[in-house]
Amino acid sequence: MEISNLPISPSHRGKLLSAGYSTLASLSSISPKQLAEGPSTGASLLSHTAARTAWDMLTDEQTTRHITTFSGELDAILGGGIHCNEITEVGGAPGIGKTQLGIQLAVNVQIPVEYGGVGGKAIYIDTEGSFMVERAHQIAEACIRNTLDRSILHRKDLHGIEAKMQPNNFLSNIFYFRVCSCTEQIAVINYLDKFLEEHENVKIVVVDSITFHFRQDFEDFAHRTRLLSGISLKLMRLAKRFGLAVVLLNQVTTKFIDGSFQLTLALGDSWSHACTNRVVLYWNGNERRAHVDKSPSLPPASAAFCVASEGIRDALPHYKRPRMA
């Protein structure tokens, strides 16, 4: 049996793979004591896992910052927005608005702390060529208007900060990587450690999409699974170390279930364990909806949203829009 298929945590699976153990048979000569001390390297598999108290974990959860989507209903089912320190997978059919949400989050992460935002910067890794800088500028303009309108409503006097809230400043804080192969994708993700050390206050990494280059030219699916497990482990470590949100946009595929073909997110159930939260976007007639499909801290729930000229917003009654990527 492949190590990548064992029912163990992604963290432990990644450590075994990185130590050179790819199959269950390769572990047969290792005693439990040796395994605990660290296969082949002498370093413990748990050497990077510090013990924490349950109180510390609860405190972290209660103080975790969230990035608003600008849809109140969508934020509500997400527990306040996209969580920092976690990986959130967002999947759905073409045209449902995945890229629109990714761009919206890359903009919204920059809302200053004084206005209730995170006040961070964004990394956008584009594997499909779907990022549109003109759209990002349009969403940034609407975000600034919305944020300043709220400050007036709450009578906040923040003139010094308002002067910095310009669309060109927002675009300057989105670091864009265009990758054209799975090799480039792995290289960029491995480079993020160094990049984040050199560029302070990045608070979100968007990968659009995580699956595009891994659905083609892979005859060895076990090898693909190992590569993706390594990517997820790396991104989880980055999320924890730098206190940032990781958002992985995913495509859909068809799967034969109960006698019929049904749409399901790409890469299957094994990949779903690599993410903290999974959100599925889908059409209900002409209405866009989001469903929390998996989360350790959020109950299953659904909410309507729309993609307007300003970006992601709450759905209005009988609101119809052309489909967007």
Model pLDDT for residues 187-233, shown as the tens digit of each residue:
999 999 999 999 999 999 999 999 899 877 677 878 888 898 899 99
- Summarize pLDDT for 48-97 with one digit per residue, the tens: 556 778 877 666 666 678 999 999 999 999 999 999 999 999 999 999 99
Segment 278-291 mean pLDDT: 95
Which carries the bigger pLDDT value, residue 154 or residue 146? 146
- Residue 54 falls within a domain, yes or no? no
Asked whether residue 30 falls in the same domain as residue 117, the answer is: no
**Do 11 and 131 belong together in one domain?**
no
Residue 210 lies in a domain: yes
Residue 32 shares a structural domain with residue 161: no
- Domain co-membership, 41 together with 176: no
Radius of gyration of the chain (CA): 21
- Per DSSP, which regions of the chain are E strands? 66-67, 82-83, 87-92, 121-126, 174-178, 202-208, 245-250, 252-257, 260-265, 277-284, 287-294, 302-308, 311-314
How far is residue 78's CA from residue 306's CA, in Å, rounded to a whole number?
Answer: 16
Question: How many of the other CB atoms lie within 10 Å of CB of 200?
Answer: 9
**What is the spatial distance between Cα 36 and Cα 32, in angstroms, rounded to a whole number?**
6
Q: How confident is the model at residue 45 (pLDDT cuts 50, 70, 90)?
A: very low
Q: What integer is the mean pLDDT of 124-131?
A: 97
Per-residue model confidence (pLDDT) at position 56? 72
**pLDDT, average across residues 170-181:** 97
CATH of the domain at 296: 3.40.50.300
Domain containing residue 13: 7-46
Average model confidence (pLDDT) for the chain? 83
Q: Judge if 127 and 170 occupy the same domain.
A: yes
Tally of domains within the chain = 2
Do 122 and 96 share a structural domain? Answer: yes
Query: Any idea what the Cα angle at residue 122 is, between residues 279 and 163, rounded to 5°?
Result: 120
- Across 159-163, 179-183, 307-311, least confident range: 159-163
Please check whether residues 93 and 24 belong to one and the same domain.
no
Q: What is the mean pLDDT of residues 284-305?
A: 95
Quote the pLDDT of residue 78.
98
82 and 113 in contact (C-beta within 8 Å)? no
Whether 20 is in a domain gets the answer yes
Q: Assess contact for 150 and 115: CB atoms under 8 A.
A: yes
Residues 6+ away with beta carbon under 8 Å from 20: 26, 39, 40
Same domain? 73 vs 167: yes
Please tell me whether residues 13 and 139 are part of one structural domain: no
Based on the fold, state whether residues 164 and 301 are members of the same structural domain: yes
53 lies in a domain? no
**Residue 223 and residue 90 in one domain:** yes
Strand partners, 278: 89, 294
Is there a single domain that holds both residue 101 and residue 180?
A: yes
pTM of the full predicted structure?
0.79
